[in-house]
Amino acid sequence: MAFDKYETYREIKSQCAAWEQALDLVTALSLPKAADYDQVIFTGCGSTYYLSLSAASLYQELTGRSARAIPGGELLLNPQTVILRNKPSSRKTLLVAISRSGTTTETVKAVEQFKRDMLGEVVVISNNAETLAALGDITLVISKGRENSVAQTRSFTSMLVAASAFCMRMAGGDDLLSAMHALPQAGNLLISQYESFAKEIGDQLNFDRFYFLGSGSRYGLACEANLKLKEMTLTHSEPFHFLEFRHGPMSMVNEKTVVVGLVSQANASHELAVLHEMQALGAKTLGFGESGVEVAFRSGLSENIRGVLYLPVLQLMAFYRSIAKGLNPDRPNNLQAVVKLDL
């Protein structure tokens, strides 16, 4: 079968060029410093909310400043649960709004409300110079990340690289930002080395449930990997923090289960122990990480800059499972590329 007839496949395979553009754009920006803000809020919807979870975790880790992620709809409907309005005037909030299309209703309306209430500055990360881009005090548009398919793959990773690089810049980590320019080459190598592995797993339709485990900044990536499998393959899947999986969810594990672990270097002993326990219960376990796992990056890059490398092989795994099930990965069931609501 000629897989390159599918837009999703072409977008997955070409994503690393968009990473390079994202890095160049962030490098050229004039940015404030993390110390200028008391709180940073990352927001998006669906995939970009999961991206926000990862970015907020990374931002706080690197800068030591408070950061959180909130869905665009929650920021719009329940801003009082997110923003302290009765704060001293000297305190400042930065809103980082992330949207592939730049037209997602909840995100656009939440940013408009944030600006109308004069609550702080706005950074926009998108793949399109649409409505949201015009609302940003600082705007990043990664055009090479644009997609025609519904499920986000190339767009997600391009915006993730941009958000991660933004965190590096805000933290003053120019050395880390410089090192990130090795990511596109590492990503292409990873795709070429493990595409057949992704197809092998994707073709095995005897598995009927998948669990994606990740902690720290990797939890948002586990959420995104879970969403890609749901969207493209209509398979039961859920994301969890590593240690939380023992607290109830492991009751679902059997011989038809795949447990995917986004393994960190810092906590590898604890995370691998969870995978080993699930394997003993009959699950197929797959570890992703720098070394000592089934999908090994061997990138030589720092842990806090290589997060994007967890995703391409998992995207391919979802793509191939979709094909094996006779589905169209470009047009997932009941979904559209952009959610627009009458709000």
Question: Residues 314, 211: one domain?
Answer: yes
CATH code of the domain covering residue 221: 3.40.50.10490
58-90 confidence digits (pLDDT tens): 999 999 999 999 999 999 999 988 887 655 555
Same domain, 24 and 154: yes
Is residue 295 included in any domain, yes or no? yes
pLDDT tens sequence across 149-177: 999 999 999 999 999 999 999 999 888 99
pLDDT at 86: 58
Residue environment code for 32-57, b if the CB has 16+ CB neighbours within 10 A, otherwise e: eebeebbbbbbbbbbbbbbbbbbbbb
**Domain contains 341:** no
Do 197 and 80 share a structural domain?
no
Query: What local confidence, expressed as pLDDT, does residue 91 receive?
Result: 60
In tens, the pLDDT along 186-220 reads 999 999 999 999 999 999 999 999 999 999 999 99
Whether 124 and 268 map to the same domain: the answer is no
Assigned domain for 56 exists = yes
30 CB-near residues (< 8 Å, 6+ apart): none
Segment 89-99 shows an average pLDDT of 84
Number of folded domains that form the chain: 2
Q: Please say if the pLDDT value at position 249 is more than 60.
A: yes
Do residues 277 and 300 both lie within one domain? yes
In a domain, 337, yes or no: no
Indicate if 176 and 188 belong to the same structural domain.
no
Same structural domain for residues 220 and 117? no
pLDDT tens readout for residues 284-343 = 999 999 999 999 999 999 999 999 999 999 999 999 999 999 999 998 776 555 555 566
Q: What is the pLDDT of residue 343?
A: 65
Q: What is the pLDDT of residue 135?
A: 97
Q: How far lies 39's CA from each of 51, 97, 109, in Å?
A: 18, 14, 20
Q: Are residues 206 and 306 both part of a single domain?
A: yes
Domain match, 165 and 86 both = yes
Beta bridge partner(s), residue 213: 240, 261
Q: Are residues 27 and 74 in the same domain?
A: yes
Domain closes at, from 131, 146, 181: 181
- Regarding whether 306 and 157 lie in a shared domain, the answer is no
Residue 28 forms part of a structural domain? yes
Average pLDDT over residues 211-237: 97
pLDDT at position 336 is 54
Pick from 181, 210, 244: which residue ends a domain? 181
- Boundaries of domain holding 259: 183-324
Residue 226, in any domain of the structure = yes
**Is residue 134, in this structure, part of any structural domain at all?**
yes
In-domain check, residue 338: no
* Predicted confidence band of residue 2 (pLDDT cuts 50, 70, 90): confident
pTM of the model: 0.95
107 with 11, same domain? yes
CA distance 103 to 324: 33
Domain final residue pick, 142, 164, 181: 181
Q: Output the pLDDT for position 164.
A: 98
